[in-house]
């Protein structure tokens, strides 16, 4: 798939005067349809970006002009969002916006009631992630969307961790803006999309963040990377096709991991009822996460937080926001796997950890 559009059909999807451009355009539009099918939206509501970080910025900062003109400068979000959401919001605060950060308890979830209680007449945006990138805890999007049915605020969801893994919630028509990344569903890195659903026939009033071309209906200029776009489309198609098989495989791995680690007294960070089956965030009593990762080097690749901030050894803002005990924050380890991981020697990993106790 990638090699075809990198080598043989190396056309510009914006060039309609020759066959290679037409072929590239067809590949892009097919991918747009394939992404749309995952969330049950229209193909022309999918805008390709470099990934969820850019999509988050476009969704949040792109509403700024409209919000100012409408005199709506209040935003509701959670305290456990990814930095790709938190930092654009911090930028808006410096420009006169007010942000309500919903607290998050030990469960790792916010509630629809919290959102309802925070809404105001001047609320322009509600931004709540689909699945937390550190704990794997799914947020109650459907319930929040139902709360927003009679409110004008736009609902943005950072869906990077849930797109293609949990299908139904992202199909809710009240989810106005969805940010996704290709590599999270085993597609190429460097490609993603922003879904901007129409409401009452009108697209969210987003302004572009940069300029220099009419691509993506003028919302996101620049020559599209056809090979990456096609890869995201194909990954989206396969995610739907193989959804149940992947789910089954991941559940088996999660059950095996829990069986091995709970015998060592490991504590799951986040309400296990809502943790997706490809992730576990665990803390081991009296063990420091850095020491455990060093001991497991060559045995397992794991992290103690977000992959985006793995070079930063500051305590996790997510676990801190969950108000966990200090030992759980300092000792937290994030294990994740996929249907491609194969058989994992969870017992061997647990044995290596037990030696440190």
261 and 308 both lie in a single domain: yes
Q: What CATH number is attached to the domain comprising 76?
A: 3.40.640.10
Options 308, 313, 325, 341, the catalytic residue: 308
d(CA 227, CA 9): 9
Q: Is 192 helix (H, G, I), strand (E, B) or coil?
A: strand
Q: Measure the CA–CA gap between 45 and 65, rounded to whole angstroms.
A: 20
Examine the domain organization and report whether 193 and 95 are in the same domain. yes
Rounded to whole angstroms, how far apart are CA atoms 103 and 285?
Answer: 25
Could you tell me if 285 and 331 are in contact, meaning their C-beta atoms sit under 8 angstroms apart?
yes
- Average pLDDT value for residue range 199-224: 94
The kind and range of the H/E element at 90 are helix 83-93
Alpha helices, DSSP H only, in 94-225?
Answer: 112-118, 141-147
Position 312 scores a pLDDT of 55
| 125 and 213 inside one domain | yes
Q: Tell me the pLDDT band of 22, cut-offs 50, 70 and 90.
A: confident
207 lies in the same domain as 248: no
| pLDDT tens, position by position, 296-326 | 887 777 777 655 555 556 789 999 999 999 8
Domain that holds residue 155: 2-241
The count of domains in the chain is 2
pLDDT at 151: 97
- Select the more confidently predicted residue: 117 or 4: 117
Task: Point out the domain boundary residue: 194, 221, 241.
Answer: 241
Helix/strand/coil (H/E/C) assignment for every residue in 221-260 = CCCCCHHHHHHHHHHHHHHHHCHHHHHHHHHHHHHHHHHH
Which run of H or E residues covers position 127? Answer: strand 123-127
Among candidate residues 180, 213, 241, the one where a domain is terminated: 241
Phi-psi region of 284 (alpha: psi -120 to 50; beta: other; left: phi over 0): beta
Write down the pLDDT at residue 356: 77
pLDDT tens digit string along 340-349? Answer: 998 899 998 9
Distance, CA of 331 to CA of 325 (rounded, Å): 10
Distance of alpha carbon 349 from alpha carbon 266, whole angstroms: 13
Strand pairing of 154-158 and 123-127? parallel
287 in the same domain as 187: no
Residue given tokens 């100012």 in the structure block: 68
308 is known as an active-site residue: yes
């Amino acid at each position: 798939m990638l090699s075809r559009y990198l080598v043989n059909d190396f056309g510009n999807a914006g060039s309609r005067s020759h066959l290679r451009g037409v072929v590239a355009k067809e590949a892009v539009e097919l991918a747009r349809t394939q992404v749309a099918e995952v969330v049950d939206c229209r193909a022309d509501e999918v805008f390709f970006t470099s990934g969820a970080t850019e999509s988050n910025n476009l969704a949040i900062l792109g509403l700024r002009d409209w919000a100012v003109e409408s005199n709506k400068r209040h935003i509701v979000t959670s305290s456990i969002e990814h930095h790709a959401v938190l930092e654009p919001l911090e930028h808006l605060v410096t420009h006169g916006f007010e942000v309500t950060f919903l607290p998050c308890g030990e469960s790792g979830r916010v509630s629809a009631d919290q959102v309802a209680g925070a809404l105001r007449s001047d609320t322009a945006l509600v931004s709540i992630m689909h699945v937390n990138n550190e704990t794997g805890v799914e947020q109650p999007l459907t319930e929040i969307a139902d709360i927003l049915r009679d409110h004008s605020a736009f609902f943005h969801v950072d869906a990077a961790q849930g797109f293609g893994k949990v299908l139904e919630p992202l199909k809710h028509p009240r989810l106005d803006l969805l940010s996704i990344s290709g590599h999270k569903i085993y597609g190429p890195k460097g490609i993603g999309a922003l879904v901007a659903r129409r409401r009452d026939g009108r697209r969210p009033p987003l302004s572009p963040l940069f300029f220099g071309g009419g691509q993506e209906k003028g919302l996101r200029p620049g020559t599209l990377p056809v090979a990456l776009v096609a890869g995201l489309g194909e990954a989206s198609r396969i995610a739907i096709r193989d959804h149940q098989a992947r789910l089954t495989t991941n559940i088996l791995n999660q059950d095996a991991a829990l069986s091995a680690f709970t015998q060592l007294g490991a504590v799951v960070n986040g309400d296990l009822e809502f943790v997706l089956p490809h992730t576990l965030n665990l803390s081991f009593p009296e063990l420091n996460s850095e020491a455990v990762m060093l001991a497991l080097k060559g045995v397992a690749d794991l992290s103690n937080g977000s992959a985006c901030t793995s070079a930063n050894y500051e305590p996790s803002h997510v676990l801190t926001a969950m108000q966990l005990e200090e030992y759980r924050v300092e000792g937290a380890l994030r294990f994740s796997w996929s249907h491609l991981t194969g058989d994992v020697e969870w017992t061997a990993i647990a044995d290596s950890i037990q030696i440190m106790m």
